Chain A
Amino acid sequence: MAVTVTIPTALRQYAGGNASITLAAGSVGQILATLTEQHPQLGKHLFTEQGALRSFVNIYVGDEDIRHLQGIETPVPDGETVSIIPAIAGGV
């Protein structure tokens, strides 16, 4: 019973250098809570001080933005991928 969480380049330094992390299935909220327990530094990059998901960090379950699903209540079935996609602005 596991799901894969992909960590973008920009945040890997806060996740022990991992490009992906395997965690137990559950809701997006539960999975992110376990993730930030294991990697506390990641927390402030994903959540505001009030505990809300930051608006420049998108979370996808499969290829769908959780804003169009059930937000952090979205269930993540076994074998599915959760992607963290932060805004990047580079171009030159």
Chain B
Amino acid sequence: MVLSSLSNEEIRRYSRHLILPEFGMEGQRKLKQGSVLLIGTGGLGSPLALYLAAAGVGHMGLVDFDIVDESNLQRQIIHGTSTLGIRKTESAKMRLRDLNPHIDIATYETQITSENAFDLMRPYDVIVDGTDNFPTRYLTNDASVMLGKPNVYGSIFRFEGQATVFSPKHGGPCYRCLYPEPPPPGLVPSCAEGGVLGVLPGVIGTIQATEAIKLLTGIGEPLVGRLLLYDALTLRFRELKLRRNPDCPVCGDHPTVTELIDYQQFCGISPEEAHRDSTIEITPIEAAEWLRSDHPPFLLDVREANEWEICHLPGAVRISVNEIAERMNELDSAVEMVVYCRSGVRSARAVDLLRQAGFRKVKNLAGGILRWADDVDPSVPKY
């Protein structure tokens, strides 16, 4: 393959790479020729996109369907106050254009699905997984294995991160060798529910960027067959061995999953669950009216103590969703009850637990505090 040449301007820009003996002109020309698809331009995607663009990766694709929100800016450093409310792909593209006008940037304002995954990934050399949910992670994995492309994996939770490279070409394992099956919905909280240290995706995202650059240039030893763990609180890195499972349904010796499947279903998210039973939900406007009436319901807050400190609804009593099972005896099943959390997800879980235990007069506040702030009381802070 003939590598593209570098202009004098590019030589000036990339001089600190060019004088690295391991990198040189050849490495830089490989980067210019190379292409990376970033799935997600959020916490991990921000440092990834910035460093890969700055390094001179010639062709970058950004997949995201979200818009920039104030609560993103604590960690999603590619976006800014001036790009609030616009598409993340557009916001990211503007920043990257300014950072490096010598590269191509394609944007895909869509969610990656089983229908479009192959088309999105096919043109790219390296796939980088910066998503935030299990269905997309399994989809990204399976599609990468089926296309024979390396998948640079990173994930984060609160103060901890994981990173590795799944590369069929290097004979390495895939995500399914690491975790054959996803957790049932609700058992593992998301960052929106559990929180995340803002600088954490910076650490894991830059490790992913390092690996993408190494894969494109062929220098060094890729993070294949090793799971890197990072704990910000103790500031420790650890490495665990990761082996290919010969019985893996996707990358094993006799694969049984040979085309993309329904990943929502695989992760236990049924359509019924996505459209929760409306009879056990109550809107903030209805709840507010009820609370003002002569027979107001008991208000149960199932968030954590630190969230309660940010804000809570007047008259509420707090029992964390994680303690509901043990502290159910503190609640009266004869009393009408409205349960709330930040967005309505944890409270739905609490309502399920209470209903299973025989509480029949329990309703979930749809949309939680976030929707309460929108529809009832704008003085309540959204977080």
CB pair B42–A91 under 8 Å, yes or no, is yes
Q: Which of A9, A55, A67 contacts B158 (CB 8 A)?
A: A9
Q: Does B180 reach chain A (CB closer than 8 Å)? A: yes
Report B147-173 CB contacts with A as 1/0, cut-off 8 Å: 000000011111110100000000000
* Among A67, A87, A92, residue most surrounded by chain B Cβ atoms (within 10 Å): A92
Q: Count chain A residues whose beta carbon lies closer than 8 angstroms to a beta carbon of B.
A: 26
User: How many cross-chain pairs have Cβ atoms below 8 Å apart between A and B?
Assistant: 108
Q: How far is the CB of A62 from chain B (nearest CB, A)?
A: 9
Q: Does B211 reach chain A (CB closer than 8 Å)? A: no
Within 8 A of A (CB), among B193-240: 194, 196, 201, 227, 229, 231, 233-234, 238-240
Q: Does A19 reach chain B (CB closer than 8 Å)? A: yes
Q: How far is the CB of B238 from chain A (nearest CB, A)?
A: 8
Q: State the CA gap A12–B9 with chains docked (Å).
A: 52
Stretch in B20-28, B100-108, B131-139, B333-341 touching the partner: B131-139
Q: State the CA gap A63–B159 with chains docked (Å).
A: 21
| Chain A residues with CB under 8 A of B201 | 91-92
Within 8 A of B (CB), among A52-79: 54-56, 58, 60, 63-65, 67-68
CB pair B243–A65 under 8 Å, yes or no, is yes
Q: State the CA gap A90–B227 with chains docked (Å).
A: 16
Report B86-130 CB contacts with A as 1/0, cut-off 8 Å: 000000000000000000000000000000000000000000011
Closest residue on chain A to residue B39 by CB atoms: A91
| Chain B residues with CB under 8 A of A19 | 233-234
Q: Which of A45, A63, A89 contacts B241 (CB 8 A)?
A: A63
Q: State the CA gap A56–B134 with chains docked (Å).
A: 11
Range class of the B interface residue count:
35 or more
| Chain A residues with CB under 8 A of B132 | 89-92
Stretch in B182-190, B310-318, B349-357 touching the partner: B182-190
| Chain B residues with CB under 8 A of A91 | 40, 42-45, 129-132, 154-156, 191, 201
| Chain B residues with CB under 8 A of A65 | 240-243
Q: How far is the CB of A17 from chain B (nearest CB, A)?
A: 12
Q: Does B181 reach chain A (CB closer than 8 Å)? A: yes
Q: Which of B157, B181, B239 contacts A10 (CB 8 A)?
A: B157
Q: State the CA gap A67–B245 with chains docked (Å).
A: 9
Q: State the CA gap A68–B225 with chains docked (Å).
A: 13
Q: Which of B40, B179, B233, B243 contacts A87 (CB 8 A)?
A: B179
Q: A9-B159, A9-B231, A92-B43 are in contact. List 12 more A-B contacts (CB 8 A).
A: A9-B158, A9-B160, A13-B322, A55-B181, A86-B188, A87-B178, A87-B182, A88-B156, A90-B43, A90-B157, A91-B155, A92-B132
Q: B residues bordering A, Cβ < 8 Å?
A: 40, 42-45, 66, 72, 76, 129-134, 137, 154-160, 162, 178-183, 187-191, 194, 196, 201, 227, 229, 231, 233-234, 238-243, 245, 322
